[in-house]
Chains A and B, each alone.
Chain A
Amino acid sequence: DTEVTQTPKHLVMGMTNKKSLKCEQHMGHRAMYWYKQKAKKPPELMFVYSYEKLSINESVPSRFSPECPNSSLLNLHLHALQPEDSALYLCASSQDPTVLAGVETQYFGPGTRLLVL
């Protein structure tokens, strides 16, 4: 199973709402990632969790709050977002590079299309 699942597929929220995005993988990967992708642009890294601990925060505003409850799940909590935060939010996972045998890289989920009104 090489699948990363994300829910919901679409989300519309107001600037005062609180919502959460969810991501799940069952590949035994120990690194999980959140990316933001605007139209016609490459994905931009937001957060990296490694062994359930936050290892990279790419200076993301505090209105985005990640959480990794266990090795298979990754959440992104959203609060007081701005219209410019509307984008495709992608989750990805990867094996621990220190145990890589080949050129394995990150596997992406289908994304959550977020619209902030």
Chain B
Amino acid sequence: QQQVKQSPQSLIVQKGGIPIINCAYENTAFDYFPWYQQFPGKGPALLIAIRPDVSEKKEGRFTISFNKSAKQFSLHIMDSQPGDSATYFCAATILRSSASKIIFGSGTRLSIRP
């Protein structure tokens, strides 16, 4: 089944806290797992992505933790800032012959309080 389940739907965290967004999938045929950040009125922007053979990836304050056996992955934002307030989509990507197909999670609206 080509679904990615994301939680929570919304999240409020104080500045400096560590918001955590969780995702789960069923299909084992996904090739990699990106996270997108979207600000109001803008298109989604790739934040960080991980292959299923890697358990953790860090880029700046953003970390993906990946549990292949549980088919779960999560995003952690260290030292969160008000500027991180946005909607975050986890996703799973299938590489086709010459294009990729992204299956998006439902999104998490994150608000960082000053």
Answer whether A51 and B100 are a contact pair too, CB < 8 Å, given A41-B107, A109-B43, A111-B43.
no
Interface size of B as a range: 20 to 34
Contact between chains at B98 and A30 (CB < 8 Å): yes
Return the contact of B102 from the options A55, A96, A106 (Cβ within 8 A).
A106
Residue of B nearest to A33 (CB): B99
Residue of A nearest to B42 (CB): A110
Residue of A nearest to B99 (CB): A31
Report the bound CA distance from A94 to B46 in whole Å: 12
- Give chain A nearest CB distance to B27 CB in angstroms: 16
Extra contacts besides A51-B98, A105-B34 (19): CB < 8 Å:
A33-B99, A42-B105, A50-B96, A50-B99, A55-B98, A55-B99, A56-B96, A94-B100, A96-B98, A96-B99, A100-B95, A103-B49, A106-B46, A107-B46, A108-B45, A109-B43, A110-B41, A110-B43, A111-B41
Binding site for A on B (CB under 8 A): 31-32, 34, 36, 41-46, 49-51, 89, 93, 95-102, 104-107, 109
